[in-house]
Structure 1
């Protein structure tokens, strides 16, 4: 059965990577929740996609150059809708606390955002932080950065892992050849161009980002392991109807 992963929470209906977006993903019972982690200047684990805060907050500057206090002072919701003006960039711990409280039983896909800036030590800090919580959900690690995935593989031998790419054949082969990598997360465009390869791929295939009814239907028809979507509620309804 093809699973539904809520991309950055519920990116199409709520400000991405905020507690509001993750609460929505839990509410609609998404099979998986995907989020992005970067280091602040003081090496706190922050849940935000871009290396620069400008697109999703009222601030400016790089995440890595701003302290936790500076990042927490930013409005991370008004850019999407004024109704979310109280939303902040969450700490990874805050999201884990929410999922623990909600007793979420799906899959938490942790994307380690080291493709712009390679934060040394971020992998071990993520693993240490996870140990602080009694989670009901399963964990999946992913990254565009193959060196990050190699570091995670060295630190952790049990948690499922996947490599992300747009259409890179090198990364497709990395995902296929590395025994410790259990899946690939290519773009939906790669899926459209390589339907039979995707159907027969020997490991889990979970593309990003399937938002249209047609793209969702394609993922179901190919029998893919999962797909990421900005509209998890819509996708869950499509899944029930398929």
Structure 2
């Protein structure tokens, strides 16, 4: 039986300010099997790691990422809204996160989500590919997005790039991408997966999101899914021992 990989959602979102270096450092500390992050593009064409199209929810600033320069974004506090203990935590650039993973000798899975479903960010796929091709990384990379045109563009620019279907209600993306490109994994919302049942797709590898309750974790581990995406990687790793003893 395969061991279900634990993917830290936006770092360790449940315990640290999401998509910050502090969150990614925590995901590394607990030895998560993988790390998931979100990419946007600034006004001056810099890749930054943040989930929303605006900085309003997670920082002390206001405005859309696409209308701000990297310098302007770096002036914001991205930690205090989570806890005063993280005051002055910053929105990291994509390069800063990569540097951290290299420094910490990360050898797991990096799930890069392109947040192009609301803002298209023309050219973002090319920028990501250029950065990722500069080095031979020790970690595995998979790209996901709710915008399936972005996944197609990634494959057009790098046929060997691994892509995962990210969806909430249906798997219609597979028809859009077609048979031309290999899809390595499905990343469905857990509600959809439990509703349709694993038996409907017995041979499809799944990494559902966002698995935060013990009952959801148990479901994924009992079914020996390929992976799960969670805000609480340390909790999930401890829970996994009940179902899947460490190898």
TM-score bracket for this pair, using the shorter chain length: over 0.9
Task: Specify every segment of 5 or more residues in structure 1 that has no aligned partner in the other structure, as ranges.
Answer: none
Name the SS of the counterpart of 1:42 in structure 2.
Answer: coil
How far has the Cα of 1:179 moved from its partner?
3.8
Contact 1:191–1:198, Cα closer than 8 Å, also in 2: no
Contact 1:175-1:184 within 8 A present in 2 as well: no
Cα distance in structure 2, aligned partners of 1:88 and 1:43: 18
Preserved contact between residue 182 and residue 203 of structure 1 (Cα < 8 Å) = no
Name the SS for the 2:143 alignment partner. Answer: strand
- Quote the RMSD (CA, aligned, Å): 1.6
Cα deviations by residue, 1:20-43 (Å, 9 ceiling, x for unpaired)? 000000011101100000000111
| Structure-to-structure mapping, 1:1-242, within 5 angstroms | 1-171=3-173, 173-174=175-176, 177=179, 179-197=181-199, 200=202, 202-242=203-243
Shift of 1:135: 2.7
Contact 1:123 1:148 in 2 (8 A): yes
Cα deviation per residue 1:202-227 (whole Å; 9 max; x = unaligned)?
33211110000100111112221111
Q: Distance in 2 between matches of 1:97 and 1:85?
A: 22
Residues 165, 172 of structure 1: 8 Å contact kept: no
Report how far residue 174 of structure 1 moved.
Answer: 4.7
- Residue 178 of structure 1 and its aligned partner are, at CA, apart by 5.5
Once residues 11 and 120 of structure 2 are traced to their aligned partners in structure 1, the CA distance between those partners, rounded to angstroms, is 24
Contact 1:57 1:78 (C-alpha < 8 Å) held by counterparts: yes
How many residue pairs are counted as aligned between the two chains? 241
**Using the alignment, how far apart are the partners of 2:167 and 2:66 within structure 1?**
23
Contact 1:198–1:222 (8 Å) recurs in 2? no
How far apart in 1 are the matches of 2:76 and 2:235?
A: 30
**Match of 2:39, SS?**
strand
Task: Compute the TM-score of the two structures, normalised by the length of structure 1.
Answer: 0.95
TM norm structure 2: 0.93
Report the secondary structure of 2:141's partner residue.
strand
**Partners of 1:35 and 1:16 in 2: how far apart?**
9
Does the CA contact (< 8 Å) of 1:6 and 1:34 recur in 2?
Answer: yes
**Post-superposition offset of 1:83:** 0.8
Which structure 2 segments of 5+ residues have no match?
A: none
